[in-house]
Amino acid sequence: MINTREIVLDCIIEILEKKQYSHQVIKQVLDKYAYLDKRERSFIKRTVEGTIERCIELDYVLNLYSKVPVSKMKPVIRSILRMGVYQLLYMDGVPDSAVCNESVKLAAKRGFVNLKGFVNGVLRSVAKKKKEIPYPVREGNITAYLSITYSMRPWIVERWLASYGEAQTEEILAELLSERPLTIRIREDLAPAKKQELLEEMNRAGMEAEQTKELPYAYHIKGADRVESIPGFKEGKCFVQDAGSMAIIEAAEIKTGQTIIDVCAAPGGKALHAAEKLQNTGMVTARDVSEHKVLLMEENIKRSGLTNIRAQIQDALVLQEEEIEKADLVIADLPCSGLGVIGRKGDIKYRIEPADIEKIAGLQRRILSVVWQYVKPGGKLLYSTCTLTEEENHENTAWLCENFPFQLIKERTFLPGKDGTDGFYLAVLTKIS
């Protein structure tokens, strides 16, 4: 018989102890156990994601009620306690006694019989005192308060406070911990009747599709157990994509017949969206650095059925001289720190360090110093990221305009809690003739 808590434990160890990517681990596990009851799969997903995103708070609580600091615990015991405290604090449907008992059993099953009493004692202490946990107060140390309350690393909190102020920062932090809606893009070239049929099919499958405010083809989906279960997904009638990501392509104002190069395209969402905008004309060349990423794009292209898009292996740092001034639009959605999508990939905040920001911004500038050359005179460069740092966003755009023949047309930052999307930045620039 499958023990869902064991699955949760293995996932948490993989992500927090072995530093595997959370979205990949969770997808692999849900695919592997697709045969489980929907409620069991939901328990696995919620407990893993919740433990990851709330880990800073969970460790704070554990350090209050454990004689052994979290940092000194054995990895398996640390993981059992983290997932146990998450269930105690945030899963009202799970009885406290069940959390404690099942956690003790897990410890014994993983070879830590001698630590059963320790696990039991810590969790029962938390269960008993969970209504009176002494959290940091806002007055006097806003960083500590926001860090523990919203489980975000202090250095990130401080950066956002400096950029967005206290009220906006708290909105961002709260939104990143809220339930993230699954957003799909329904093909714009789908006939209205076919689109209505697709929406009705989703409804019959127990899914609720709600159109977003800004984009008529963007829908939030509720009730989808797996992406593959969404009607129309396998047939390429719809694609999973955040509304902010869609808005980035909208900002480019693509026209039919254009030649477009997407220099860091995987998994291909923006490139496919751009190809749709071309309405079976022009060509989108979607490039990325590895064979694995290109194969992923080719799968998505095949599913779409579009013929005006191709995928290529290409290092964006290497200039392709034959492509100089050949593109009407270059899409530079570049590698970034990813702080804007922490709500979907909670482990990002544990991976990125302050020193990484400068390195990543430097990499972005090296790529931009190459790919700007592909833009025709009068053509456009679309620069975008999924992060919320000045260095990777506004400062790089200003640098680009100062050092190369470009003029800024528009720029926008999408903020969680304000715009109903993940965190994104875009800048559209035109090449001066």
Q: Checking DSSP bridges between strand 327-333 and strand 259-262, what pairing results, if any?
A: parallel
Distances (CA, A) of 216 to 181, 190, 199, 246: 17, 12, 13, 11
The Cα 66–Cα 70 span in angstroms is 8
Residue 16: name the closest of 86, 97, 101 by CA. Answer: 86
* Strand order across the 327-333 sheet: 309-313, 283-288, 259-262, 327-333, 375-385, 424-431, 406-414
pTM to 2 decimal places: 0.93
Residue 81 is inside which H or E element, if any?
helix 75-90
Provide the b/e sequence for 124-133 (b: ≥16 CB within 10 Å): bebbeeeeee
The Cα 386–Cα 341 span in angstroms is 6
The Cα 426–Cα 419 span in angstroms is 14
Q: Which two tokens stand for residue 266?
A: 């995987």
Which 3 state secondary structure label does DSSP give 327?
Answer: strand
Could you say which of 11, 100, 264, 386 is catalytic?
386
Helix runs in 130-236, H state only:
142-149, 154-177, 192-204
Which 3 state secondary structure label does DSSP give 261?
Answer: strand
Q: Are 120 and 96 in contact (CB under 8 A)?
A: no
Q: What is the CA radius of gyration of the chain?
A: 23
Q: Are 426 and 378 in contact (CB under 8 A)?
A: no
Residue 386 a catalytic site member = yes
pLDDT at position 214, please?
82
**pLDDT string in tens for the chain (433-residue length):** 689 999 999 999 999 999 999 999 999 999 999 889 989 999 999 999 999 999 999 999 999 999 999 999 999 999 999 999 999 999 999 999 999 999 999 999 999 999 999 999 999 999 999 999 999 999 989 999 999 999 999 999 999 999 999 999 999 999 999 988 899 999 999 999 999 999 999 999 999 999 998 899 999 999 887 888 899 999 999 999 999 999 999 999 999 999 999 999 999 999 999 999 999 999 999 999 999 999 999 999 999 999 999 999 999 999 999 999 999 999 999 999 999 999 999 999 999 999 999 999 999 999 999 999 999 999 999 999 999 999 999 999 999 999 999 999 999 999 998 888 899 999 999 999 7
Q: Are 245 and 424 in contact (CB under 8 A)?
A: yes
